[in-house]
């Protein structure tokens, strides 16, 4: 679940799209989707299932080292009981439980499967087992069915290398469509009255064509997917020319990379994809860099700076251990889970007063917060409730299917998850729920702070106090719509 330098290099095209007209909010059912990776030991009974519509179990793997590398590999001895518990608890609360297949390290043989009709048929049979009911009884170690609600096919970068262990072919995307069509046909045959979903985690650019560039017409895929999960995170990393936001809402200025949530939606819809079949990806983690300058003293202060090109050790859980499925060498990722940021840096509930040594800033262009520590030149880009709330507003106004997070167990007391649940409000007034009314005495220090005034929602462009919201071009307040 990451955007790599390989992908950005393969894209090889400039993105220059006009600002879209934002349509009215969709009135349909919205999704809040959590990816759950049991590798980290998060207890399933700690999930607040009331705050999810879907939970994606990550991952079943396409692994070259498996006994049969062309079917879905799961270590049932350890994973089986977790899948059973997740399905049981989720279904009790009306939550759909989806099997995610692939991911960064687990997509190694997708290319070979998709290219061969015999392998496709065999793979589909292994996939259908996750959807079928169990007929062997609850005590069966390996049931003949897991009673899940759909498949999330996380072949994230067909036609592009991704992890070093992946097989790649220029015909990957064309073959992927064949595989998806056959999966959908088999699903509809076996479950004519109990719809099973097909989704996929995808890049901020559509799938690659035979020439390696993103396809400009992807309408053929619409009928096979219920929606796609666009991974709008890992936009900046060790591969980038400068430090920059992990998950920008809007494009970063140079020298930052010109990719963002807005760019991703524009690019996918320009290729023919409907907005109501898009879930916007949000990270419940931040990324750290080691800057080569003091980012506290630059003029002007920005979150774009030269860096070492090697990710430092991030939060307590960040590890440089190699992965058994695919050894890409020992390396830290620079990851700071939101929970780790809250427990170690932003311990004050204001979320703007970090612990000693750190300084916190807000980038009003990309709508993202960032941190810097002078002692070791560590920069962290992350998301907090304020930036997440703006992403939810964006998803609602764009008419998207919903939002998802990578990954669910990285939260802190459900702070970010609670914000994502704002997407469920279907009335125009929802954008003003729990928003304080403007007062002339309050200091509005952080840009993009929301207030209500005269029945409308306003956000400030910069520090302000005492200025009445009016919507004038040179005023401090921006009118974002009626309550």
Give strand ranges (E) for 338-462: 358-363, 368-373, 378-381, 402-406, 443-444, 450-453, 456-460
**Count, residues in the chain:** 483
Q: SS3 of 281, please?
A: strand
235 has a pLDDT exceeding 90: yes
How far is Cα 86 from Cα 409, in angstroms, rounded to an integer?
Answer: 14
How far is Cα 235 from Cα 248, in angstroms, rounded to an integer?
Answer: 8
Sign of the Cα torsion 206, 212, 217, 218 reads: negative
The two structure tokens encoding residue 450: 């929301």
For the chain, give the mean pLDDT.
Answer: 91
In whole angstroms, how far apart are CA 109 and each of 80, 132, 165, 211? 23, 24, 9, 21
pLDDT in tens, 96-134: 999 999 999 999 999 999 999 999 999 999 999 999 999
In whole angstroms, how far apart are CA 216 and each of 204, 229, 260, 268, 402? 13, 18, 18, 8, 24
Q: How many CB atoms lie within 10 A of CB 358?
A: 18
What is the 8-class DSSP label of residue 475?
Answer: S
Q: How many CB atoms lie within 10 A of CB 64?
A: 16
The two structure tokens encoding residue 108: 């190694």
Query: Cβ distance 207 to 214 under 8 Å?
Result: yes
Q: How many CB atoms lie within 10 A of CB 354?
A: 20
The percentage of the chain sitting over the pLDDT mark of 70, rounded to a whole number, equals 93
Give the pLDDT score at 242: 98
CA contacts within 13 A on the Cβ side of 60: 26
Q: Per mean pLDDT, which range of 92-101, 278-287, 452-461 is the poorest?
A: 452-461
Give the pLDDT score at 448: 78
Rounded to an integer, what is the distance from CA 276 to the centroid of its chain? 16
CA angle 232, 39, 66 (to 5 degrees): 95
347 has a pLDDT exceeding 90: yes
Q: Per mean pLDDT, which range of 17-26, 205-214, 328-337, 360-369 is the poorest?
A: 17-26
Place 23 in a pLDDT band, splitting at 50, 70 and 90.
very low
Query: Cβ distance 229 to 202 under 8 Å?
Result: yes
Which of 79-88, 426-435, 473-482 tops mean pLDDT? 79-88
């Amino acid at each position: 679940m990451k955007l790599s330098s390989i992908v950005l290099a393969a894209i090889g095209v400039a993105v220059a799209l006009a600002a879209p007209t934002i349509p009215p909010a969709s009135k349909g059912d919205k999704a809040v989707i959590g990816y759950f990776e049991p590798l980290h030991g998060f207890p399933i009974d700690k999930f607040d299932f009331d705050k999810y519509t879907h939970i994606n179990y990550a991952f079943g793997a396409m692994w070259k080292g498996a006994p049969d590398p062309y079917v879905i590999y799961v270590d049932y001895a350890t994973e089986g009981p977790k899948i059973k518990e997740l399905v049981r608890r989720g279904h009790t609360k009306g939550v759909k439980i989806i099997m995610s297949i692939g991911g960064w390290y687990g997509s190694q043989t997708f290319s070979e499967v998709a290219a061969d009709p015999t392998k496709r048929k065999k793979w589909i049979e292994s996939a259908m087992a996750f959807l079928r009911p169990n007929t062997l009884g609850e005590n069966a170690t390996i049931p003949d069915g897991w009673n899940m609600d759909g498949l999330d096919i996380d072949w994230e970068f067909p036609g592009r290398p991704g992890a070093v262990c992946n097989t790649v072919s220029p015909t990957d995307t064309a073959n992927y469509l064949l595989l998806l069509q056959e999966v959908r046909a088999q699903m509809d045959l076996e479950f004519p009255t109990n719809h099973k979903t097909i989704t996929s985690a995808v890049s901020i650019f559509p799938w690659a064509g035979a020439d390696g560039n993103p396809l400009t017409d992807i309408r053929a895929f619409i009928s096979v997917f219920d929606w796609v999960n666009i991974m709008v995170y890992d936009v900046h990393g060790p591969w980038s020319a400068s430090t920059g936001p992990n998950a920008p809402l809007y494009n970063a200025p140079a020298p930052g990379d010109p990719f963002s949530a807005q760019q991703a939606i524009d690019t996918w819809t320009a290729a023919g994809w409907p907005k109501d079949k898009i879930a916007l990806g949000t990270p419940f983690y931040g990324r750290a860099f080691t800057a080569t300058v003091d980012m506290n003293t630059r003029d002007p202060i920005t979150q774009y700076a030269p860096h070492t090109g090697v990710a430092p050790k991030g939060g307590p859980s960040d590890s440089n251990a190699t992965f058994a499925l695919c050894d890409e060498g020992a390396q830290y990722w620079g990851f700071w889970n939101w929970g780790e940021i809250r427990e170690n840096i932003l311990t004050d509930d204001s979320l703007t007063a970090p612990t000693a040594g750190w300084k916190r800033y807000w980038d009003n262009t990309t709508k993202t917060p960032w941190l810097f520590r002078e002692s070791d030149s560590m920069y962290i880009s992350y998301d907090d409730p304020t930036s997440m709330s703006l992403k939810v507003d964006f998803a609602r106004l764009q008419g998207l299917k919903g939002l998802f997070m990578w990954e669910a167990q990285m939260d802190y007391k459900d702070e970010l998850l609670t914000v994502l649940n704002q997407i469920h409000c279907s009335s125009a007034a929802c954008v003003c729920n729990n928003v304080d009314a403007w007062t002339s005495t309050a200091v509005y220090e952080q840009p993009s702070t929301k207030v209500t005034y005269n029945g409308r929602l306003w956000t400030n462009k910069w520090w302000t106090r005492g200025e009445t919201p009016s919507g004038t071009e040179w005023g401090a307040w921006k009118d974002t719509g009626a309550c």
